[in-house]
Every structure is written in C-alpha cells, then in structure tokens.
Amino acid sequence: MGAMTASPGRRVLLAAPRGYCAGVDRAVIAVEKALEQYGAPIYVRHEIVHNKYVVQTLEKKGAIFVERTEEVPPGHIVMFSAHGVAPVVHEEAERGRLATIDATCPLVTKVHKEAVRFAKEDYDILLIGHEGHEEVIGTSGEAPDHIQLVDGPADVAKVEVRDESKVVWLSQTTLSVDETMETVDALKEKFPQLISPPSDDICYATQNRQLAVKQMGAEAELVIVVGSRNSSNSKRLVEVAKLAGSREAYLVDFAAEIDEAWLEGVTTVGVTSGASVPEVLVEQVLEWLAERGYGDVEIVKAAEESITFSLPKELRRDLREEAATLVAERGGSGAGA
C-alpha cells in the first residue's frame, strides 16, 4: 500500500451534499440524548436509520433494537425510527405500557398528513414506493382502505381506482426522482385527472444527493457509494450513478469492502454516501483510495443545504417516571428503574 499518493491523472470526485440529512441527524442525536437522560436501555423499534455502523455504535451505548413493539417489556421507553410508523404501532405501545419517543422525520410525517387528508376526502391514493420498506408500511397504515402501493412503472398496469376523477399520487421520500417521474407519467396516461402531492414528497436530501451523483457519474468510471444494503436512498445513488454514465457503481458499508479489482483502468473515482451514513466512513474510503494513488480530491457541489430539525419534544419530559406510572396504574412488570 505505502504512503498516501496522488498518481498523475488519478483523482477522486467527492459529491456534495452527501451523508447525513437533517432527519437522520435528529434521529441519531435523539437516541444518544435519550440514553444520556434516561439511561440504558432505550429500546428502538426498527433500525433508527438504515446504517450498520450507526446501529452497532448505538447498541454499544445501550440501545436495544427490536422489530416488533411487543418485544419491549412493559414500563420501558421505546423510540420509533426515522422512517415513521403506522398509527397501530402507537396503539401497540400504549397497550404495552410503554413511554414513546417518536423520531420520525418531519418530512415523512408530512407525507403521513397528506395521506390522512386525502383519505378523509375519499380519494384513491396511489403511493409510489418500494414494497416492504418500513416507510411505506408506516404511510400506508395511515389509511389502509384508501392507499394502494405502486412499486415502479411496471406496477401501473394493475392499478384500479373507484373514481378516476378522485385520484392522487404520493410517494416514499427516498425514491429515484427520475424513475418516480416515469411512474407518474404512466399513471397520468392511465388516469388523466390524477392529481399530484401539494409539495414534493421525495425530500430535499434525496433529490440533492441524486443531483450530485448524476453530475459526477458523467465523469467517473467508478462510483463508490457508502451506505448499507437496506438503505433505499443509498441504493438509489448506485442506480443513478450508473444511469449517468459511470461504468461501475458499488455500495459499501466500509472501506474494507472495496475490491482492488474495481480500480483496474480507472482514472476518476466518484465517492458519495447515503443520507444515513456518518462522515467518518467516507473519510476511511478516501484514505483507502489515497493509499492507492487517488489522493487528489475535487468536490462536485450540486446544492447547498442548511435545513435542521428540532429534537423530538418527548425528550423534554421525564419518560422513566411516565413509564413507571403506566405500569403502576395498569399493571405489568415494569422496568424496575
């Protein structure tokens, strides 16, 4: 390997923006703050964000990740992940005598509210998203009788609605912008009166990361996206890079997963990361590349981001006390702390 070098011609294009979005930042800090304020364990329903490193780091600090609300013992605190939950999950927590902290991203909550509003007006809601993804499970749960999932353009043929003059589309926040537009075009062809969401459901962070990777995909022969396999927005970055012209694009959790063979005949390497990825992991990838002659780093800037969200309001209350009271009033073996 040797020292860090910059071999002539070889360079790295580094996407900006990349990595943490405002919703992820808020959710990760919320777990850390809950651990500080209330002590371990803090249960988290579903991975707080879809990143292996984040989950492992929080586990070491005392977070316990579960898939089902029922796994949390009565009298404990449970946090809901940034991807959002259906109303039935709040009911499960209530039945389980749990104090809750909701780390759902406000931009996911916005889509939930749109779903509730259009369902109230008795629209058929076509929710564009990936089947089985946590976010669409949560959004669909707001109005299961009104919402049907459309998983890409190929799904349009099977869509049926009750009244063609009352149809709206909504979407998951982390989709490919271009593929979503293809799906919407196909839906509009079928239902010309289809209405669009009042504002973009695909969030600013998803859009900006795709814009940046598109720019560098046109120049880089190889694009390395840092992100986990279950991260929808990270996976979309790999697809967008390839469509933009990069010969190859790969998703890696850690620098150690990069294969030397990917570099064969490559002069320009693009690097970016998903919205759930801490910057330290990108730094390690840049070091790995520098050790192999790709030490020149040029930023490819597609947008400026300054948005931040305030922490979940529940962090301002004494939740240990609340959880203990729930158990004292309604029975069940409590947290004992």
Q: Is 78 in the site for ligand 10D (CB under 6 A)?
A: no
**Residue 141 in tokens:** 């749960």
Nearer to ligand SF4, 141 or 245 (CB): 141
User: By C-beta, is 49 or 128 nearer to ligand 10D?
Assistant: 49
Torsion sign (Cα): 93, 94, 96, 102: positive
Taking CB under 6 A as the criterion, the residue among 14, 21, 212, 277 binding ligand SF4 is: 21
Q: How many helices (H) and strands (E) does the chain have?
A: 10, 12
The interface partner of residue 232, options being ligand 10D, ligand SF4, none and the CB cut-off 5 to 8 Å by kind, is ligand 10D
79, 85, 107, 238: which one binds ligand SF4 (CB under 6 A): 107
C-alpha closest to that of 205 among 240, 243, 247, 175: 175
- Paired with 80 in beta bridges are 45, 102
Q: How far apart are CA 203 and CA 206, in angstroms?
A: 5
Q: Write out the binding residues for ligand 10D, residues 161-180 only, by CB under 6 A.
A: 173-174
Based on the residue annotation, tell me whether 135 is a catalytic residue of this protein.
yes
The HSE-up count of residue 100 (CA atoms within 13 Å, CB side) is: 19
Give the residue with the Cβ less far from ligand 10D, 80 or 191. 80
- In the shown chain, the binding pattern of residues 23 to 62 toward ligand 10D, with x for contact by CB under 6 A and - for none, equals xx------------------------xx------------
Distance of CA 276 to the CA centre of its chain: 6
Q: Tell me the residue number closest to ligand 10D, measured at CB.
A: 231
198 HSE (CA, 13 A, CB side): 8
User: 47, 92, 114, 135: which is the annotated catalytic residue?
Assistant: 135
SS3 of 120, please? helix
Which residue of 233, 246, 268, 272 would you call a contact of ligand 10D, by CB under 6 A? 233
Asked if 14 contacts 300 with a C-beta cutoff of 8 angstroms, the reply is: yes
CA angle 78, 281, 37 (to 5 degrees): 30
22, interface contact from ligand SF4, ligand 10D, none, CB < 5-8 Å by kind = ligand SF4
Q: Does 28 bind ligand SF4 (CB under 6 A)?
A: no
**Cβ 174 to ligand SF4, closest distance in Å?**
5
Q: How far is the CB of 112 from ligand SF4 (least distance, A)?
A: 11
Smallest separation (angstroms) from ligand 10D to the CB of 106: 10
105 binds ligand 10D (CB under 6 A): yes
Contact with ligand SF4 (CB under 6 A): which of 14, 15, 22, 98?
Answer: 22
Is 135 a binder of ligand 10D (CB under 6 A)? yes
Residues constituting the chain: 337
Annotate each residue in 247-286 with x if it binds ligand 10D (CB under 6 A) or - if it does not, as one string.
---------------------------xxx----------
72-110: burial string, b at 16+ Cβ within 10 Å, e else: bbbbbbbbbbbbbbbeebeebbeebbbbbbbbbbebbeb
Shortest CA distance to 247 belongs to which of 224, 218, 266, 221? 221
Closer by beta carbon to ligand SF4, 205 or else 255: 205
The first and second tokens of residue 145, run together, are: 């009788």
Rg of the chain over all Cα atoms, to the nearest angstrom: 22
Site of interaction with ligand 10D (CB under 6 A): 23-24, 49-50, 82-83, 105, 108, 135, 173-174, 231-234, 274-276
Site of interaction with ligand SF4 (CB under 6 A): 21-24, 82, 105, 107-108, 173-174, 203, 205-206, 233, 275
Catalytic residues: 135
